[in-house]
Amino acid sequence: MAITYLKQAKARPATECSDIRDTVAVMLANIQREGEDAVRRYSEKLDRWTGPVVVTDAQRRAACNRVSQQTKDDIQFAHANIRRFAEAQKATLGECEVEVIPGLIAGQKQIPVSSAGCYVPGGRYSHIASALMTITTAKVAGVPHITAVSPPRPGSGIPDPIIYAMDLCGADLILNLGGVQGIAAMAQGLFGAQPADILVGPGNSYVAEAKRMLFGEVGIDMFAGPTDSLVIADHTADVETVAWDLVSQAEHGADSPVWLVTTSELLAKGVMARAQALIDQLPEPNLSAAHRAWHERAEVVLCGSREEAAQVADRYAPEHLQVQAEDLDWWLGRLSAYGSLFLGKETTVSFGDKTSGPNHVLPTSGAARYTGGLSVHKFTKTVTWQRCNAAASHELAQRTARISRMEGMEGHAIAAEMRLIPEKLSEAV
């Protein structure tokens, strides 16, 4: 059976990305030139925020005191799971030392970056979990200084639960800033922040573009587009569960694609018939976002076999990949391109988004073909070192000089041959 599209996404406007690029470029240039003044101006214009940028220790304590105990307990539960998983990841980072040839010792070390900037979205929704995912992971990695920013709400600033999460996870500095101006402030080290070595965290298209433009000057976790999710399901899956899993991810935004890949035509048609009714149960602005995402961005693909379904999933390389099908171990071994994998009807992307532990900052727009999500590895530099004795230096010098001259690099050859002259060695010592 050929792969059949029962539903396909609409094409996106060709000018969309170029307009965003132009806007972000102007903003970054202005902030580079004018510093904190430009940041405050953009914050007032875009977030309607005229209050202080830096959240003081007293304001932190007051915000934390306003958070209910149940909310604190839930946030602490999620934080513990995320920290535990990050600690397990860190345990996989090893240092090594090897004698490559007699007398030549080489090794590798793991060194955390000196500072990190963590962006926590807060526009349509208050993304408490993003604070947990980014700051906790940086802290476990051993980053000495962590700045966190999130869009302030007019008149009140960053929502109290987000501040509580930032404080719990160990943010050294919290700034009432969102959007491009928040990213630029962390990159430049404004408002008392240390200039960020790496910028991490999800955000809207403008935040993503700002990170992309700053990459090279600073590191970034990844260039992330709109969140996306794919569900693989067979005849054993439940229509209602699959439909809700898709709709729940569509509520992220109108540009968030969701995809169903299935070997069951009956399931596919059942999900397509139920989706709008489920969307209608959502409040605003979730309803409008999910409605557009489903009707403009969603796709439903019917496959003749599980191998065809796996091939389609690998081609999409989704950020989130759910499998609701028989023989989960087969899928775990077969699938190769995804940000995070959710196996079985008992799990859902919502768990990963909020509380279960593995990081929810993941590659989007097909980037899972070549990279994974945020982890302690992103905050850690794997660096190498070497030293050698005179005997090893002698052989290395001869072979290095010959290869250097073959390449036409005479300076390299001479520098190597300096190690062949005993008196030069003694002078160097």
Give the pLDDT of the chain (429 residues) as one tens digit per residue: 679 999 999 876 655 677 899 999 999 999 999 999 999 999 999 999 999 999 999 999 999 999 999 999 999 999 999 999 999 999 999 999 999 999 999 999 999 999 999 999 987 778 999 999 999 999 999 999 999 999 999 999 999 999 999 999 999 999 999 999 999 999 999 999 999 999 999 998 999 999 999 999 999 999 888 999 999 999 999 999 999 999 999 999 899 999 999 999 999 999 999 999 999 999 999 999 999 999 999 999 999 999 999 999 999 999 999 999 999 999 999 999 999 999 999 999 999 999 999 999 999 999 999 999 999 999 999 999 999 999 999 999 999 999 999 999 999 999 999 999 764 544 443
Q: Which of 79, 127, 320, 360 is catalytic?
A: 320
Give the 3-state secondary structure of residue 417: helix
Query: Which pTM was predicted?
Result: 0.92
Q: Does residue 324 contact residue 344 with C-beta atoms inside 8 Å? A: yes
Partners of 383 in the β-ladder = 109
Catalytic-role residue among 319, 326, 417, 423: 319
319 catalytic per annotation: yes
324: Cβ contacts below 8 Å, ≥ 6 apart: 231, 232, 233, 234, 236, 237, 238, 241, 242, 245, 344, 345
Query: 279, 291 in Cβ contact below 8 A?
Result: yes
Closest CA to 164 of 66, 256, 243: 66
| Residue with the two structure tokens 């489920």 | 278
Q: Select from 212, 251, 208, 245 the least CA-distant residue to 230.
A: 245
Closest CA to 39 of 174, 190, 187, 217: 190
Q: Specify whether the CB–CB gap between 316 and 13 falls below 8 A.
A: no
Residues paired with residue 341 on neighbouring β-strands, in sequence order: 321
Compute the distance between CA of residue 90 and CA of residue 140 in angstroms, rounded to an integer: 8
| Element housing 232 (H / E) | strand 229-233
Q: Name the residue type at position 161.
A: P
Helix axes 69-91, 128-141, angle to 10 degrees: 40
At what angle are helices 36-47 and 16-34 packed, to 10 degrees?
Answer: 140
Burial label for 148, CB within 10 Å (0-12, 13-18, 19+), is buried
Q: Tell me if 164 sits within 8 A of 83, measured CB to CB.
A: no
